[in-house]
């Protein structure tokens, strides 16, 4: 699929990644006809002119049909989520995002959408494979046997399977990417929904400005994560959407970084 020949809708376009994705697609000459997010337009991270920008709650099936009307490709990034602090304290709320995924798949199927992209997460991976600080980079097959992050991870893994079965049963071409800690301009940096890179930067700056020279981090600081810059995320998302790869793919860096090393480098800057 060449997206330049398609009419595209981006769900979750008022968020950090969604807003950048709309900009990237437009810059590539892709016809983004519709952008949708639950937030009021003035609360979107960014929005683009020449696009139908809609404030809709996509947990409602009727709104999903509005989002899918007249388009041939859908990017489904809409979800109620945030950083680890938010995920740990809002398990049920995170799982309710399965309504968005279910209803958008149904609307895409009934509206003759040709291809559907779903943004999954590294939180789908088996937790037993991530307990050691000496963990090796996770491979796609490491998601099974299933033991994902409680709440958010289960919702993502279930929705991945739903995409697979919508393709098998109804012929809706689905592409799935597992995002790994995306960071960059206009990202959330405070309030509990921020990801680790932005949170670390904020904490180091606050410590430096206050003179305390101490920061609070999750765990002992030796656990590893991979980080991905937003431009790489949007480019990879488009490439996966246009590809012929039917299985979920990791989208991120294979470089593993500890919180301790990130904090030390920032504090030395």
Active site residues: 152
Question: Percent helix, strand and coil across the chain, each rounded to 5?
Answer: 45, 15, 40
Residue keyed to tokens 């709104």: 63
Residue among 176, 177, 209, 205 nearest 190 (CA): 205
Q: How far apart are CA 23 and CA 33, in angstroms?
A: 12
* Cα 50 from Cα 188, distance rounded (Å): 25
Task: Report the C-alpha gap between 240 and 122 in whole angstroms.
Answer: 16
**Which of these, 95, 80, 38, lies nearest to 192 by C-alpha position?**
80
């Amino acid at each position: 699929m060449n997206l330049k020949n398609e009419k595209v809708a981006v769900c979750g376009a008022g968020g950090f990644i969604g807003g950048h994705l709309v900009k990237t697609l437009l810059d590539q000459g892709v016809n983004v006809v519709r952008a949708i997010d639950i937030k009021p337009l003035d609360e979107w991270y960014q929005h683009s002119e020449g696009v139908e920008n809609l404030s809709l709650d996509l947990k409602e099936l009727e709104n999903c049909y509005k989002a899918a009307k007249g388009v041939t490709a859908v990017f489904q990034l809409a979800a109620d989520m945030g950083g680890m602090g938010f995920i740990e304290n809002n398990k049920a709320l995170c799982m309710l995002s399965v309504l968005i995924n279910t209803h958008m798949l149904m609307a895409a199927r009934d509206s003759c959408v040709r291809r559907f992209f779903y943004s999954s997460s590294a939180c789908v991976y088996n937790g037993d494979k991530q307990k050691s600080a000496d963990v090796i980079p996770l491979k796609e097959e490491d998601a099974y046997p299933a033991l994902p992050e409680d709440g958010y991870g289960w919702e993502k893994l279930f929705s991945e399977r739903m995409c697979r079965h919508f393709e098998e049963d109804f012929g809706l071409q689905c592409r799935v990417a597992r995002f790994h800690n995306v960071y960059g301009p206009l990202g959330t940096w405070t309030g509990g929904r921020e990801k680790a890179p932005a949170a670390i930067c904020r904490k180091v700056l606050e410590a430096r400005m206050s003179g305390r020279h101490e920061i609070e981090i999750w765990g002992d600081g030796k656990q590893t994560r991979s980080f991905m810059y937003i431009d790489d995320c949007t480019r990879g998302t488009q490439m996966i959407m246009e590809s012929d790869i039917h299985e979920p793919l990791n989208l991120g860096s294979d470089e593993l970084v500890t919180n301790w090393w990130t904090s030390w480098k920032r504090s030395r800057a």
